[in-house]
Structure 1
Amino acid sequence: MSDKITVDRTRPAVHLRIGGERLTSGSGGVHDHIDPATGQVDARIPLAGSTEMDRAVHTARAAFEKWRHVPPAERRRLLTRLADLIEENLGEFSRRAALDNGTPVSVAAGIGQMAIEWTRYYAGWADKLSGDVTTTRTTDGELGYTLPLPYGVIGVIITWNGPLISLAMKIPAALAAGNTVVVKPSELTPFSGELFADLIERAGFPAGVVNVLPGAAEAGAALVEHPLVEKISFTGGPATARRILTACAQDMKPAVLELGGKSAQLVFEDADLQQACAFGSMLALATLSGQGCAFPTRMLVQRPVYEEVIERVADMARAIAIGDPFDPTTLSGPVVNQAAVDRIQGMVKQAKADGSRLVIGGGMANGRFEGPLSGGYFVEPTVFADVDPKSELAQTEVFGPVLAIIPFDTEEEAVEIANGTRYGLASYLWTNDLGRAHRVTEALEAGEVLVNGATGLAVNRPFGGIGISGVGKEGGREGIAEFLRVKSIAFK
């Protein structure tokens, strides 16, 4: 960590945003935000409780009665203005990402660009929503058609690993469809949400259309269970999702759930090994310090090139620049907190006990670096080879910079291993055989399959998993359809 980097590390104030109000305290108490790069408390975050959440939902419901009648072209204009403001404040969003959870500014800028594209894309959908004429013949004396209508108040709960992109994946689509929203960002990453709420206001959205409240667990439960909330959109883990589904079941409330993954990257012997190894190493070990739901954390390699791939990955892992998130040369920052360090190191220890071959990493005292980085939650990129496909490391999401490499012989074996978990969010495939690419992509049980380095989270494509990786879609036409009810109408 360099001592020569001079940047603005000022922590912005965080509020509970209900309508046009900015509350400085809430019934949920206060959260001591810890800078993961130093391990020190750097801000005190007010938390909403059930009282503030109830107020926010009623405010959003009142705003909905007017927002639903705002002309679609005006919704498009406001969302386009919001996208422009995100772009104008991209540097500040990158700064806040480093403050929120230690995301390096070099990485945060790219995530911010994605948020801009997601917002612009759904701005374009606002005035293009239409129903269908369902009548097959008028001689029956009946005219039938459908109307796509907004739900009302959408409850949005986002996780901490990518707060800006998570907001952009949910809120623009919901607003374009004519809904209002109440958002509970994670108290671990409150600073980006505060700026997003500022820009919503500056863009000219009516008060109450978007309400942003960091909150305690009771606030999330109150949002999910509130009778005026018509649908839930959640990003997080399967355990919390199960509780959300249980609560939603009482009123048959629908939910979109974007959950975790244990994504496989299949590398065949005819692949471009340099590109495949660079792609997999960067996502699994460097980007967000491995804290991404769709990252390829299992690398399945055909046996003739197995040892070569292991060597290439090890060399790339050694070259990952780890350090101060504000240093523009840093590729990998800290993980989010001490609990994450403990969990990751526990899985590393178990992988060793299970007989996996440690290739690189996994050896720091207490799982953290010594010297200038010792105070923060920095974890060494770790690579295991010869991993048993049934072991914990191959079956459980680590959410940290740990990669499992597994050999395979045949195409059928590769598909069987890749499909051999309860997750099904994403898969990655590297081959120069077009026929194989088509066969394998169809056989892989995942919501998205990316071939030869195709970009993930593209807004024009639906994103969402199967199994315990989630329910529903974000992105594409399907992403806005999640926020619309279809009403069937007929005239005799």
Structure 2
Amino acid sequence: MFEYAPAPESRSVVDIKPSYGLFVDGKFVDPVDGGSFKSINPASEEVLAEIAEAGNEDVDRAVRAARKAYQKVWGPMPGRDRAKYLFRIARIVQERSRELAVLESLDNGKPIKESRDVDVPLVAAHFFYYAGWADKLPHAGFGPNPQPLGVAAQVIPWNFPLLMLAWKIAPALAAGNTVVLKPAETTPLTALLFAEICQQADLPAGVVNIVTGAGETGRALVEHPGVDKVAFTGSTDVGKAIARAVAGTRKKLTLELGGKAANIVFDDAPVDQAVEGIVNGIFFNQGHVCCAGSRLLVQESVADRVLESLKRRMAQLRVGDPLDKNTDIGAINSAAQLDRIRELSEAGAAEGAERWSPPCELPERGFWFAPTIFTGVTQAHRIAREEIFGPVLSVLTFRTPAEAVEKANNTPYGLSAGIWTDKGSRILWMADRLRAGVVWANTFNKFDPTSPFGGYKESGYGREGGRHGLEAYLNV
């Protein structure tokens, strides 16, 4: 293995303020009835900033600002003019891409090369893409005169803070809605920097509002009677609670929830390419990915060969400082998430699966977990059934394509799947039978703003991205 000299990205490109208020009606304001909390760097446990916590009155103020902007400015505005603002935001995201990437890695713990090369470019791409739709809504296939819903309440998770913001805000604004967004309490900083970008783009006041806080803030936003649409990405348990809260109201709802994706490797797959896809599928962003390929299904005849190659590749993964450009696996986002990963990993070992991790020196401070695989896993194991949301892979085997489909679909989730084979006909046969919203063929974790993303079963309903992503924000 090569020894790499440290190649740290400079923190000096980011100006983190000691404290942040709420972004309401185009201005940063202090909370009326809320408190504050700290956002920390998961790689070092250093406090990055003090963040305002929105209470009920603060949420109400944000929703009223969004309603006023919707009625007076954004809703009546021609689509071509809305498009200009979205294009402007996209260009500013590109101009400030290095700043956004460094801040994302500091606040979230993901490697800088992922923030820089994946997250931020996709954020800009989503705003560019939906800017193009803003004046073409009558041609989107939703009738001759689709209308916006009004005020959208959007609650996003901590694993892709800025990208999830773009997935939610870009189509909502393109369709003519205004937004109140609540970022995750452990990763609010890039959303607050995005608020500054909205100011820089001269976005009309109240079109985008950002209220920070934890679960109670999210509950207040979701249950607010002035909201017309709720969009949530996060855990299945919280998604169920939101569905219950919204039931019986006029609010529209889309949910993108948990996953337990199967990554299926056949005996004719190119092994080295498949191994790269396996590694990308489960170790990208420390496994903090709802569509992570956390269940590896390998055809029995090549299982030993694939595992040998996989272990050799895992031994080359570099775990450490997220701001080092050579780092492959960064920090776990929070102490609570690290506890969850440890608990499920210990359950896997206790239930008889065989645990393996490469030799790996973890930093002393911060939240860290070595990349891990379990072999000898059965479908009854907790690690094969429950979403771990960490760098932990469960390996199962199969003999026939029919058995692979049966095992892949044996889950309450249905967000994604991957197929590795040399036969195009087999890919189509499998994809037709896999109950997953997204099926990747000879690749994994590939995203594009033109392509819809979403799940079945306990992975939620509705689609984000592509033309389909507009439907959730329009009266059709």
Q: Kindly provide the CA deviation profile for residues 336-366 of structure 1, in whole angstroms up to 9, marking residues without a partner as x.
A: 11111111111111111111122325x99xx
Query: Are residue 94 (structure 1) and residue 101 (structure 2) matched?
Result: yes
Q: 1:76 aligns with which of 55, 71, 83?
A: 83
Give the Cα separation in 1 of the matches to 2:312 and 2:44: 28
Match of 1:291 among 288, 293, 300: 288
Instruction: Supply the AA of the counterpart residue of 2:264.
Output: L
What does residue 420 of structure 1 align with? 410
Residue of structure 1 equivalent to 2:389: 399
Structure-to-structure mapping, 1:265-284, within 5 angstroms: 265-284=263-282
Cα distance, 1:481 vs. partner? 1.1
CA RMSD in angstroms comes to 2.0
Correspondence list, 1:116-155, <5 A: 116-130=124-138, 146-155=144-153
Q: What letter matches 1:321 in structure 2?
A: R
Contact persistence 1:26–1:46 (CA under 8 A): no
Q: Which residue of 2 aligns with 1:315?
A: 312
- 8 Å CA contact 1:269–1:302 kept in 2: the answer is yes
Once the two structures are overlaid, the 10-residue window that deviates more, 231-240 or 28-37, is 28-37
What residue number does 2:193 align with? 195
Post-superposition offset of 1:14: 2.3
Q: Which amino acid aligns with 2:16?
A: R
Aligned-partner Cα distance in 1 for 2:329–2:234: 22
Q: Which amino acid aligns with 1:461?
A: S
**Alpha carbons of structure 1 residues 222 and 314: separation in structure 2 relative to 1, 3 Å:** same
Of 446, 453, 459, the residue aligned with 1:456 is 446
The answer to whether the 8 A contact 2:59-2:221 is kept is yes
Aligned residue identity for 1:352: A
Alpha-carbon displacement from aligned partner over 1:62-99 (angstroms, at most 9, x marks no partner) = 00012111111111111011110111111011111112
Deviation at 1:283, TM superposition (A): 2.8
Q: How far off is 1:200 after superposition?
A: 1.3
Residues 183 and 210 in structure 1, CA contact (< 8 A), matched pair in contact too: yes
Q: Deviations over 1:216-260 (max 9, x none)?
A: 322211111111100101110011111111111141422111111
Measured in 2, the distance between the counterparts of 1:2 and 1:224 equals 48
5+ long unaligned stretches in structure 1: 135-144, 487-492
**8 Å contact 1:182–1:210 — kept in the other structure?**
yes
Name the SS of the counterpart of 2:467 in structure 1: helix
State the match for 1:138 in structure 2: none
Residue type of the alignment partner of 2:124: I
In structure 2, distance between residues paired with 1:150 and 1:115: 22
Does residue 292 of structure 2 align to residue 329 of structure 1?
no
- Larger CA deviation: 275-284 vs 171-180: 275-284
Q: Equivalent residue of 2:164, what SS?
A: helix
Letter in 2 for 1:201: Q
Asked whether the equivalents of residues 31 and 53 of structure 2 are also in contact (C-alpha less than 8 Å), the reply is yes
Counterpart in 2 of 1:248?
246
Max Rg structure: 1
Percent of aligned pairs sharing the same letter: 38
Shift of residue 455 of structure 1? 5.5
The answer on 1:210 being equivalent to 2:216 is no
Q: TM-score scaled to structure 2, two decimals?
A: 0.94
Asked if 1:27 corresponds to 2:24, the answer is: no
> CA 1:151 to 1:329, structure 2 compared with 1: closer, same or farther past 3 Å?
same
Once residues 133 and 295 of structure 1 are traced to their aligned partners in structure 2, the CA distance between those partners, rounded to angstroms, is 32
Partners of 1:408 and 1:359 in 2: how far apart? 21
1:490 is matched with: none
The answer (yes or no) to whether the contact 1:428–1:449 under 8 Å persists in 2 is yes
Per the alignment, do residues 159 and 132 of structure 1 end up closer, same or farther by CA in structure 2, a change over 3 Å counting? closer
Instruction: Report the count of equivalent residues.
Output: 468
Distance in 1 (CA, whole Å) between partners of 2:216 and 2:127 is 30
Query: Residue 395 of structure 1 contacts residue 421 of structure 1 at CA under 8 Å; is this kept in 2?
Result: yes
Query: Residue 315 of structure 1: SS of its match in structure 2?
Result: helix
Q: Which runs of 4+ in 1 moved over 4 A?
A: 1-6, 131-134
Q: Secondary structure at the match of 2:346?
A: helix
The answer (yes or no) to whether the contact 1:78–1:203 under 8 Å persists in 2 is: yes
Moved more, 12-21 or 392-401: 12-21
- The aligned amino acid for 1:63 is A
SS of the counterpart of 1:183? strand
1:442 Cα deviation (Å)? 0.3
CA contact (8 A) 1:25 1:47 kept: yes
The question of whether the paired residues in 1 share the 8 Å contact of 2:101 and 2:115 is answered with: yes
1:60 maps to which residue? 66
Would the alpha carbon gap of residues 475 and 3 (structure 1) be closer, same or farther in structure 2, given more than 3 Å must change? closer
